[in-house]
Structure 1
Amino acid sequence: MALGLLLALCASVLMGTATVFQALGARAVAGGGPGAAVRATWQWPFLVGIVLDTLGFVSELLALRSVPLFLVEAAVAGSLAVTAVVAAGMLRVRLRRVEWAAVGAVCCGLALMAIAAGRETGGDGDDTMRRAVLAASVGLAVLGWGVSTRFGGVRHRAAVLGVMAGVSFGVVAVAARLLPGPTVPGVLAEPAAYAVVVSGISGYLLLIGALQAGAVTAATAAMVIGETIGPAVFGVVWLGDTTRHGLAPLAAAGFALSLAGALALARFGEAEQHTA
């Protein structure tokens, strides 16, 4: 339990810091358009951000093996608090009082959940559930493609794509939890493993589309809601995630507090949008 909690916090710190380094890489490239985006990926800060993001994702997957989904996903959403604090120093972004309060809310919420959370019960579903998660990941990818390409005039497009991106990332977390064993041959035969790949790629593409379609705040806030609430409910209802005896209200309060703080920090979902 302690190791899983540490890994969840590491994932939050790594992913939150990665966003700032990617922002530094984007700022180092003049101009706009696809060419500038490609050049940005070869800037050393952006490459550092990719490495940190990858390490954060690995930490998240490992954390899912020993702590409840609701705690891990709240910690990942809390990476926005890390981005805000790091951006204040590295990008010289000035945080308002309400945003410092939101950072504190995220930290307090995660602390409450850490106190209340029980150990992950080891429930990893069955073959039917794994196939259903794979089907859901493919369905979300197809639906997202349709919304992105065929329904360009969708009202509140950024929020719609942001929610879909968040749900896709939530499917990644659920599918990772459903993986029964660490052996390579076993993973290659698991539908949940392919669900991780499909939802990971589609979620990333949907998030890019959401950020391009409208306000960063709307897209990021929608993504945070999509990637935290669904997996939390799934873990409690279908996988047996629990809290310590009598501490369910405390865990619920912590979850709500951390989610509210993350939503208040949604503008840091794409840190390169800020000006010094």
Structure 2
Amino acid sequence: MICALASSVCFGAASVLQAMAARAAEPGTGGGVDVALMWRALQQWRYLAGLGADGLGFVLQIVALRTLPIYVVGAALAASLAVTAVIASRVLRVQLSRVEWVAVAVVCLGLAMLAFASGKEGHREGSAALDWVLLGISFGVLLLGVVAGRLPVRSRALVLGLGAGVGFGVVEVAVRLIEGIDFTDPVWYALLVGGGAAFLLLTSAFQRGSVTTATAGAVLGETIGPAIVGVIWLGDSTRDGLGWLAIAGFAVAVAGSLTLARFGEAPAPEPEPAAEPTAPS
């Protein structure tokens, strides 16, 4: 549980560090895929520190997924939005409303309920069919991205974000199924394709639609599906008689995270006031 929470802190802090670097970098072409802006951001220590925090968070996530039920880790990762919100309110001076502060407290409450109610990690190995299903879903995420690109603007961000969340969910389940380095195992390719597709879809969602909508879809996609797989196929369980508390805690944590979905990506800097015209001499 400590690794899961530490992973959440790493991902949340990384978002703020990368946001600060992006704000300080000079704009490039201004296009959706701005290579010049990315290059300038990579030359800043804050952006590199953010990438390092992401890497550490991923390692901690792997440790947590190998020792905890998937539903606990998924809720903790969604809670990284609460970490981002709190840090952004201090460092980036982003104003949190009263409802958002309550949402931060709700996320903490939900995680506490999960920590108390969660049982041991399931020890079922799944089946060969599950490995191939994950691989099929990972390619399905890519196909979904192609289809979603033709949808209306209002629904495009939600579908892309949801697809990205499913891709991240494939990664979560794949980490549980991997038992060693064996590149003949389809679950390895499911991990690589699912993770890569998720990154591409989420980036497109941020570029082409509402950040809040895309992040909300991603949170739903990466928490609910893997949690169901962990309970039904991998044997994840709760403490005796506390299944209701785990379900309630999961719902509370995800609901609080969805309220903070606008912090899924760094907010844009406020525009500088235009200079007042000078009177002619």
What TM-score does the superposition give when structure 1 sets the normalisation length?
0.92
Q: Which amino acid aligns with 2:5?
A: L
Unaligned stretches of 5+ residues in structure 2: 272-281
Give the structure 2 partner of residue 132 of structure 1.
Answer: 133
Query: In the TM superposition, what are the counterparts of 1:106-121 in structure 2 within 5 Å?
Result: 106-121=107-122
Q: CA RMSD in A?
A: 1.6
Partner of 2:20: 24
Name the structure 2 match of 1:61: 62
Is 2:39 the partner of 1:44?
A: no
How far the C-alpha of 1:124 sits from its partner, in A, is 2.5
2:261 counterpart of 1:260: no
| Structure 2 residue matching 1:93: 3-state secondary structure | coil
Shift of 1:40: 2.0
Give distance in 1, aligned partners of 2:143 and 2:209.
21
Give deviations 1:85-129, integer Å, cap 9, x for gaps: 111111111211111111111111001001000000222212221
* Aligned counterpart for 2:186 among listed residues 187, 191, 195: 191
The 8 Å contact of residues 26 and 40 in structure 2, kept in 1 or not, is answered as no
CA distance, structure 1, for counterparts of residue 55 and residue 71 of structure 2: 21
1:107 alignment partner AA: C
| Deviation at residue 37 of structure 1 after TM alignment | 3.3
Q: Which residue type is aligned with residue 221 of structure 1?
A: A
Q: How does 1:175-254 map to 2 (within 5 A)?
A: 175-181=174-180, 184=181, 186=182, 188-254=183-249
- Aligned-partner Cα distance in 2 for 1:268–1:274: 13
- 1: CA distance, partners of 2:270 / 2:228: 38
Gap regions ≥5 residues in structure 1: none
* Cα distance, 1:142 vs structure 2: 2.7
1:102 corresponding residue in structure 2: 103
Distance 1:160 1:142 in 2: 12
Once the 2 structures are TM-superposed, how far is the Cα of residue 258 of structure 1 from its aligned partner?
Answer: 0.4
**Higher mean C-alpha displacement, 165-174 vs 35-44:** 35-44
Aligned mates of 2:62, 2:270 — CA distance in 1 = 34
- Contact kept, 8 Å, 1:134 with 1:194, in 2: the verdict is yes
Alignment partners' CA distance in 2, 1:171 and 1:231: 7
Range that drifts further, 253-262 or 193-202: 193-202
Name the aligned partner's letter for residue 123 of structure 1: R
CA distance in 2, matches of 1:155, 1:262: 21
Structure 2 distance, partners of 1:157, 1:200, is 20
The separation in 2 between residues aligned to 1:122 and 1:234, in whole angstroms, is 13
CA contact (8 A) 1:7 1:63 kept: yes
Helix, strand or coil at the partner of 1:273 = coil
1:33-80 CA-to-partner distances (Å, cap 9, x unmatched) read: 312233223322111111111111111111111110000000000000
Q: Which amino acid aligns with 2:175?
A: A
Name the larger-Rg structure: 2
Q: Secondary structure at the match of 1:156?
A: helix
Cα pair distance change 1:42/1:195, threshold 3 Å: farther
Q: Whole-Å Cα distance in 1 between the matches of residues 269 and 213 of structure 2?
A: 15
Taking structure 2 as the reference length, the TM-score comes to: 0.90
Q: State the Cα distance separating 1:154 from its structure 2 match.
A: 5.8
Mapped to 1, the partners of 2:60 and 2:218 lie a distance apart of: 20
Partners in 1 of 2:195 and 2:269 — Cα distance?
Answer: 26
Q: How many residues align?
A: 266
Residue 159, structure 1, aligned to residue 154, structure 2 = no
Deviates more, 1:71-80 or 1:45-54: 45-54
Partner Cα distance (2:222, 2:236) in 1: 17
1:29 positional shift? 1.4
Q: Is the 8 A contact 2:11 2:80 kept in 1?
A: yes
Partner of 1:8: 4
Cα deviation for residue 274 of structure 1 reads 5.1
Match of residue 80 from structure 2 = 79
Could you tell me how far apart the structure 1 residues matched to 2:144 and 2:122 are? 33
- 2:138 maps to a residue whose letter is S
- SS at 1:85 equivalent: helix
Cα distance per residue 1:228-247 (max 9 Å; x no partner): 11111111111111100000
